[in-house]
A and B are shown apart, each in its own frame.
Chain A
Amino acid sequence: MNKLRFYFFHLMPYPHIPPTAEFPSSWVSLSNKHYDPQRGRLLYNEYIDQLVAAEKHGFDGVGVNEHHANFYGTMPSPNIIAAMLVQRTSHIPIGVIGNAIPLHGNPLRVAEEIAMLDVISGGRIISGFVRGIGCEYFNNGVTPADSVERFDEAHDLIIKAWTDDGPFTWQGDHFYVPNVNIIPKPIQQPHPPIWIPGQGSLETLQFIARHHYTYMMVFSPLWFTKMAFDGLREECHRLGYDAPKSMFNACVPTYVAETDEQAHREAKAHLSWVFNTGLKIPDQLFFPPGYMSTKSFRNFVGLLKKGRVKPQSQLSYDELIKDRYIIVGSPETVKNQLGEYCDQVGAGGILAVGSSYGPMPNWMVMKNMQIFAEEVMPEFREADGKPDHLRLEPPAPSTRSEFSARFGQPPEAARSIVTGGGNELVAHRLAHLPEIIDKTFGQVERDERPASAG
């Protein structure tokens, strides 16, 4: 096992919007008239190429996620991007972290799409579930006051749809489905690994501990991540188990260049954009009514009041560095700070390292990715330098011959009674052979009748 896993994470921003001072929010209300689809096409394809390149650079996984009506992350359907990555990569795990399950009318759509991706990719999907950030409820007909309940119920429904044989009836408070019977079901058993991104609320930590899921802390200062991770460890203890390190992932944008000075010079404007422009969200949009329980809201507003946390749009670059929202520097600096970070919080994986940030040009993203892969990753790897997944048996065979050796013929190999051919079952695999098809239908004869005009 390597000391640390690294995930290339993409938000797919659309950065060509007016300067921050000219709008109150880059979410919900900043008009989509600023989105130019021609430019969007170039960006999407560049971003997809970057994600694909992460496999060859040796990352432990790639990640995409769902956001709506904003310019910070233009992936309203992350499953579509994941589908493209499935086809353009061969072994890297692909995280959809996550689908915003309470926002959708039918959670089974997510169960089906993730199952499709998992089957087609040969079991490479990590399935994240999120509630969607508060402001996403403003662009949607779902009341934020139902968010927590719908999340819980959609989660239960999806897991049951993946793991129980159908059909079964779902009689929920929010969803009713007379016959749940999704086809396909996922390859990974009992289901793809579940990651839950969060901001450290007690409800989320308890949910993760209860289900033994993997936690993913979103952009936060180190002290806050530590507090949340400690909280999760405590919740797991309370339930009678020690949380393994692999349960803890943090998102820490990391930019590496030849020297500390050069790294700051290159990254500063772009990383600042992510927080100051991309996440410019006024409070009343961030916390729509009922999105948080009154108890969680009280805790969070308490922290804001005490000045312990600041809205992300107001963080200076120096604060981002000082509080370890981000890590920027030479390979030596980044190695040291990443090592310290993970020791302090007890993380098993870091997301958004060596990745793309805001309006950062493609060449700079590729430079960051290459230096990170060559000069930072090996420090945290075993001597072979491989990501863990390449040392493990893949969840599905990678060749047809391997498949046949392991699985042989299906127990219910396709066979049917062919209309007009009597009552004998014909095995389709051999149905074209004369001893089968001719026996059933008689010799193939030349049809002497004139061709019908109709």
Chain B
Amino acid sequence: MSYIDVVDKVDVPKPARFYTPPAFETVAGLPIAYRRQGQGEAVVLLHGAGFTRMWIPLYQMMAEKTDFITPEQPGFGETPLPKWFRTFDDLTQLYDQLFDQLGLDRIHLIGFSMGGWAAAEFASFYPRRLKSLALITPVGLRLPDNPGVDIFQLPAAELFDRLFMDKSVMMEFLPDAEDFEEGIHLYSEFAAAARLMWAPRYNLALERRLQRVQCPTLVVGAEEDRLVPNQMSDRYAEVLPNSRLVRIPGTGHEPCLERPRLLADALLGLIEEAK
């Protein structure tokens, strides 16, 4: 394996709703897709294992008040998956370099679900880079008494049912089962997630390393998360030194899609306090 592989862009299907074309920044030979809009405090959001390629209402709300940047991680959306990409450490270094190349210095970092784990990993290595940290229904810690459901084992219908408390929002974001290319793309995104998260589904070092994160931190939990146990956000809030926990009413695992206004207000409040 070479030190750096140059990876070509990939053709991916475009969702019918909320799609916007991304910009690309090449880091370590890898063209990273990202979307950026707005002015003010630099805010970076790391997505979860799905709903990529879209400029969803939450992003728009954030971009109205901040310089909002959301990159797509290797193997997701329009960022290709290089052979060498295997761990959250790889991801953390990529993001650090990406932020340098985008001219960002200190940022407000937000991560959702798998991106919550990624944001926690980043924060533990580069705590001085963060003005604030927000983790939305994150994963990545070990809950000894409650491993939760095996997300990779769920049939699509059950996965979506568990993701959303608000079924009207679910219906809006349910991918078209007849869309062949979208189905293939989602399989490849899950393959990228499996590289990072199949086993184990936690990082035991994270609880210790997160002690370094002194910036104001908000942990956003669901009202009732049927995919990742609510104890996960409880545990993050316990572990993070300068944190508080909010639960967004009316939400399951997807506060970003289910209650964007409430969530945006909570995130903007944190950013205002920490800027």
Residues of A close to B154: CB separation below 8 A = 284
A144 interface residue per 8 A CB criterion? yes
Within 8 A of A (CB), among B177-197: 180, 183-184, 187-188, 190-195
Complex Cα spacing A79 to B198, Å? 28
Q: With contacts defined as CB atoms under 8 Å apart, how many contacts are there between chain A and chain B in the complex? A: 61
- Which residues on the A side are within 8 Å of B150 (C-beta)? 138
**Closest approach, in angstroms, between the C-beta of A172 and any C-beta of chain B?**
11
CB-CB contacts below 8 Å: A270-291 with B: 282-285, 287-290
Contact (A294, B194) CB under 8 Å given A138-B153, A284-B156: no
At the interface, is chain B mostly helix, strand, loop or mixed? helix
Q: Tell me how many residues of B have a C-beta within 8 Å of chain A.
A: 21
A residues 237-296 touching B (CB-CB < 8 Å):
282-285, 287-290, 294
**Option from A142, A284, A294 in Cβ contact (under 8 Å) with B188:** A294
The verdict on A227 contacting chain B, using a C-beta distance below 8 Å, is no
Answer whether residue A298 sits at the interface, using C-beta atoms and an 8 A cutoff. Answer: yes
Contact residue among A284, A290, A301 (Cβ-Cβ distance under 8 Å from B194): A290
Complex: A425 Cα to B103 Cα, angstroms:
77
Chain A positions within 8 Å of B188 at CB level? 294, 297
Select which of A29, A146, A289, A301 is within 8 A of B193 by beta carbon: A289
**A143 contact from B156, B180, B184, B198, Cβ within 8 A:** B198
Beta-carbon nearest neighbor of B10 in chain A: A294
Q: How far is the CB of A18 from chain B (nearest CB, A)?
A: 20
Question: What distance in Å separates the Cβ of A5 from its nearest Cβ neighbour in chain B?
Answer: 38
A-B residue pairs in contact (CB < 8 Å), sample of 28: A138-B150, A138-B153, A141-B199, A142-B199, A143-B194, A143-B195, A144-B191, A145-B195, A146-B195, A283-B155, A284-B153, A284-B154, A284-B155, A284-B156, A288-B152, A289-B152, A289-B187, A289-B190, A289-B191, A289-B192, A289-B193, A290-B191, A290-B192, A290-B195, A294-B188, A297-B187, A298-B184, A301-B180
Q: A144-B191, A294-B188, A297-B184 are in contact. List 17 more A-B contacts (CB 8 A).
A: A28-B153, A138-B152, A142-B198, A143-B195, A144-B198, A145-B198, A173-B1, A282-B155, A284-B153, A284-B154, A285-B153, A288-B152, A288-B194, A289-B190, A290-B190, A297-B187, A297-B188
Chain B interfacial positions (CB closer than 8 Å to A) = 1, 150, 152-156, 180, 183-184, 187-188, 190-195, 198-200
Hey, which bits of chain A sit against chain B, CB under 8 A?
A: 28-29, 137-138, 141-146, 173, 282-285, 287-290, 294, 297-298, 301-302, 305
